[in-house]
Structure 1
Amino acid sequence: MSDTLFDLSGKVAVITGSSRGIGRAIALRMAQHGARVVVTSRKAEACETVAAEIRAARTLDGKPGEAIVVPCNVSDKAQLQGLVDATLKQWGRIDILVCNAAVNPFFGPSKDIPDEAFDKIMDVNIKSNHWLCNMAAPGMAARGDGAIVIISSVGGLFGSNTLGAYGISKAADMQLARNLAVEWGPQNVRANCIAPGLIRTDFARALWENPEIAKKATKGYALRRIGEPDEIAGAAVFLSSAAGRFMTGQTMIIDGGGMVNFQSV
């Protein structure tokens, strides 16, 4: 058994979209708990900044953090395979995969969304996750252990007149996790989703930068505030560690109590 339920020592974690926001927070926390982290997004320079932070920090047992950078556009299948191959070349395995990269190029009614924007949302938010999970899972299955975490959204749990296509993609990610859990569970590979509410990231800046908009967006949250990226990172560590070893096919909602607050209806 691990020394602690949250120990990730010796594990290799690939985290897409980890140059900022939720992905960056997950990368930093997983490294702190002992994981060797692959920082990846489209921009190498931004990834190098995060990797440098990890290397300059210490794990909980006092060792230097370990990280490499592999730039990758997740919408390109060949680049995803290159991400997997580069990780295997460096560290020989992938124990944890966090699919965090996502896009939302359109804000408005679904009837107005251009086909190009709809296709981009589906390609990046669903298809790329499907590709990458099935590239990484066989190696996990061969070792009889692995964890996949897909960052979804509460937007996949209710209707919207402005984020319809994005919500569809995030609902599909929840189903993807369920399918992966069933297909790979016999080999002890777990797959789960995290569905954050409004989090203070650049991705959601339009919803929190203006105080009035932020107040309106969170008026139904039991905690009456938006979340911070680090408050999602802890859940990712849980799902990837021994603490979460009997949990699979589930979606963890982390939204400050928005979905359970009757007053928000």
Structure 2
Amino acid sequence: MLANRVAIVTASTDGIGLAIARRLGQEGASLVISSRKPENVERATKELQSEGLRVKSLVCHVSDAENRKKLFEEAKSFGGLDILVSNAAVNPVHGGILDCSESIFDKIYDVNVKSSFLLAKEALPLLRKSKHGRIIFISSISAYYPHILLGAYGFSKTALLGLTKNAALQLAPEGITVNCICPGHIETRFSKVMRSSDDMLKEELTNIPMGRIGKSEEVASSVAFLASDDASYITGENLLVSGGFSARL
């Protein structure tokens, strides 16, 4: 489905990011993966290559302009870029948004929002050469439904919804689609705090009509669809992958 295409997936050595990279690779895409920690990059690269996938990798902090530039250089070595998946995010504190310090707020905004904007902007010269240009942001259910433990993080993820709508409108005439995935509660290390006690987990499950926590692979399959030709007429959409939580008309 994605043969002869090149995909960049940020924060792609663990959890949802790794699952996305794996699925795109299984669909035939050549992969550029990255993470901030060298040991994680090395581990994930070996893991994906052992599965027969075409992978290039590097250490990358998405807030660093030179690091982002290297991502695109790696993509060029594969022949170009067709798919950008902006997945990197941080949440260094848990609590209400107005309890967040200015420095932490700046860090969350810088990684979760500004870096997604800059990655999309910097990817355009390559995406414009592709016949299948795709930009996919990874947001969160907390973009729609704030959680008291995820104040500033939820705000940053709401900002991605607006970025998606605006970028999609601008790029639609060029045939480049821009969409956003909003995962619900997915079983990852990143979301561990949300199920840190039996009571907290029970409360979470009462909000999920399907009655279970999601899997990273279930997010990855939605990304693969949006990256494919089957989704060529879909742009500007924010897709919830949440087991029915907050399903809306």
**Equivalent residues of 1:154, 1:253 under 8 A apart:** yes
Distance verdict in 2 for CA 1:210–1:162, change over 3 Å:
closer
Distance verdict in 2 for CA 1:209–1:162, change over 3 Å:
closer
Are residue 82 (structure 1) and residue 76 (structure 2) matched?
no
Pick the aligned partner of 1:202 from 178, 183, 189: 189
Residue deviations 1:158-179, cap 9 Å, x none?
2333322111110111111111
Residue deviations 1:100-151, cap 9 Å, x none?
0101112112221111110011000000000011111222123343111100
Q: CA deviation at 1:209?
A: 4.4
Are residue 12 (structure 1) and residue 6 (structure 2) matched?
yes
Alignment-mate amino acid for residue 13 of structure 2: S
Measure, in 2, the Cα distance between the counterparts of 1:228 and 1:138: 34
Measure, in 1, the Cα distance between the counterparts of 2:232 and 2:119: 21
Pick the aligned partner of 2:61 from 68, 73, 76: 73
Pick the aligned partner of 2:78 from 91, 96, 101: 91
- Name the counterpart of 2:167: 180
TM-score by length of 2: 0.95
Pick the aligned partner of 1:254 from 220, 241, 245: 241
Pick the aligned partner of 1:228 from 193, 215, 221: 215
- Name the counterpart of 1:168: 155
**Equivalent residues of 1:99, 1:149 under 8 A apart:** yes
Measure, in 1, the Cα distance between the counterparts of 2:168 and 2:247: 26
Residue deviations 1:29-55, cap 9 Å, x none?
111110101111111221222222222
Provide the secondary structure at the position in 1 that maps to 2:61.
coil
Provide the secondary structure at the position in 1 that maps to 2:90.
coil
Alignment-mate amino acid for residue 73 of structure 2: D
Alignment-mate amino acid for residue 33 of structure 1: E
**Equivalent residues of 2:7, 2:75 under 8 A apart:** no
**Equivalent residues of 2:32, 2:74 under 8 A apart:** no
Measure, in 2, the Cα distance between the counterparts of 1:170 and 1:227: 19
Are residue 30 (structure 1) and residue 24 (structure 2) matched?
yes
Count the aligned residue pairs: 248
Measure, in 2, the Cα distance between the counterparts of 1:95 and 1:254: 23
Provide the secondary structure at the position in 2 that maps to 1:193.
strand
Measure, in 1, the Cα distance between the counterparts of 2:7 and 2:145: 31
Counterparts in 2 of 1:91-170, with a 5 A limit? 91-170=78-157
TM-score by length of 1: 0.90
Alignment-mate amino acid for residue 162 of structure 2: Q
**Equivalent residues of 1:142, 1:187 under 8 A apart:** no
Q: CA deviation at 1:87?
A: 2.1
Measure, in 2, the Cα distance between the counterparts of 1:131 and 1:151: 15
Measure, in 2, the Cα distance between the counterparts of 1:109 and 1:209: 18
**Equivalent residues of 2:96, 2:152 under 8 A apart:** no
Residue deviations 1:43-83, cap 9 Å, x none?
122122222222222xxxxxx32001121001112211222
Greater mean alpha carbon deviation, residues 143-152 or residues 233-242: 143-152
- Which ranges in structure 1 are unaligned for 5 or more consecutive residues? 1-6, 58-63
Provide the secondary structure at the position in 1 that maps to 2:244.
coil
Measure, in 1, the Cα distance between the counterparts of 2:124 and 2:195: 36
Task: Report sequence identity in percent.
Answer: 36
